[in-house]
Every structure is written in C-alpha cells, then in structure tokens.
Structure 1
Amino acid sequence: MSQQKTNAEPKLNLSSTPDYREGYANSVQVRMSVWDFMLVFGTMNQEAPDELTIKNFQGVYLSPQQAKALLNVLSHNLSQYEQTFGTIALDQQLPTAGGPVH
C-alpha cells in the first residue's frame, strides 16, 4: 500500500465560545516570563493633567511562539495599513522600553 502525501491546507473552522466578547483597548501592557507573555488590555483616560486612569479588562497569555507569530502578523498588517492610509505617528510621551506599553 503506498502512502500519498497531500499538500492541502487543513480546513479551518472558526467559532466563538459562549463567553466570547469584543472590546476596545487604548492601553496594552506587555508582561513576560521565561514561559509566556501576557498582554493586559485596558482603557486609558486622563481626566486631569496630572492623573491618568487605566482600567484593565482582559489579560491574555501567549506562548513565546504565539507571541512571535502575533508580532509578524501585526507587523505585516501595519505595513499594509501605512501603505494605504499613510504613516502612523506615535506620541513621543509614550513610556520607553523599560516599562509597560500603553
């Protein structure tokens, strides 16, 4: 009996769990350990010049491999976005690499 190799991609079935939800985040904190990365999503609001409030609503753990895959997908999509709509400018007052990313 001969074995046939197929190069066909597997069929992808997407579904949502009953507790699936979507939300808007303008704050993302990135935490990491030797085992995983954690993305903490929240909403940031500045009600006074000297006070910034962040309300975290979801934490997502990723394996290092999945974090790298996410980096690649985001990089590719951001490049396409900028080609279509123009360069995205970042606020120079954002925290530097030493702290959480918001």
Structure 2
Amino acid sequence: MIPAQPQQPKISVTQSPEYRENYANSVQVRVSVWDFFLVFGLVHQESPDAVNIQNTQGIYLSPQQAKALCNILGQNIAQYEQTFGPIALDPQQPLPIPQGPIH
C-alpha cells in the first residue's frame, strides 16, 4: 500500500490594521545568534559632505526567514535584470533606461 501524501494547508493572507507600506533607500543589517535585524530608512544628502539617514522601520527575522528572504530576493533580482538589464550599484554610473513591460 502506498502511503498518502500529506495535503498542503490552505494559505490565507490578510493585512492587519497596523499594515503599512513604506519606501526605503537605506537598509542596515544587525546580526545576533538568535536573529537578523533589518533597519530600513531614507537617505537624504543635505550637502556634498553631509548625509542624513532617517530610520523608519526595524524588522526582526529568524535566521531561517532571513535565508528564505535572501533566496527569494536573489531569484527576483535575477529575473528583474533579465528583463530590464543589470542593476548598477555604483552611484556614478548612469542608470540604464528600462526596456520592456513595467508592472
């Protein structure tokens, strides 16, 4: 007799009343043996020699969730670059003009 395969649970996603969406152009990562702490914020260059980072949100992740996030971001970045071209990290390089559909 072949054992029955366990059924996948039905997943329901909802948003709590506290749910918010924000933009961040800065992320800092702090690591401990128990978790990863991601601090998101906004960078403002107020003058050529002064940069201000305003932290807006901190998120704790378990090491397992941090690794899962790393994997899914890697997959999505590869897909993005395949569609729109390489993402330049050097701020002195001009950004490429995206080609293709934008969702």
Structure 1: state its 5+ residue gaps. Answer: 94-102
* Structure with higher RCO (Cα < 8 A, 6+ apart): 1
- What amino acid does structure 2 have at the position aligned with 1:77? N
Q: Does 1:60 align with 2:59?
A: yes
- What amino acid does structure 1 have at the position aligned with 2:80? Y
Residue 95 (structure 2) aligns with: none
- Structure 1 length normalisation: TM-score? 0.82
Q: Distance in 1 between matches of 2:49 and 2:4?
A: 63
- Identity of aligned pairs, percent? 62
Superposed displacement of residue 9, structure 1: 2.4
Structure 2: state its 5+ residue gaps. Answer: 93-103
Structural mapping, 1:31-42, within 5 Å: 31-42=30-41
Q: Does 1:74 align with 2:89?
A: no
- Structure 2 length normalisation: TM-score? 0.82
Moved over 4 A (4+): none
Residues 10-42 of structure 1, C-alpha deviations (whole Å, 9 max, x = no match): 211000111110000000000001110000000
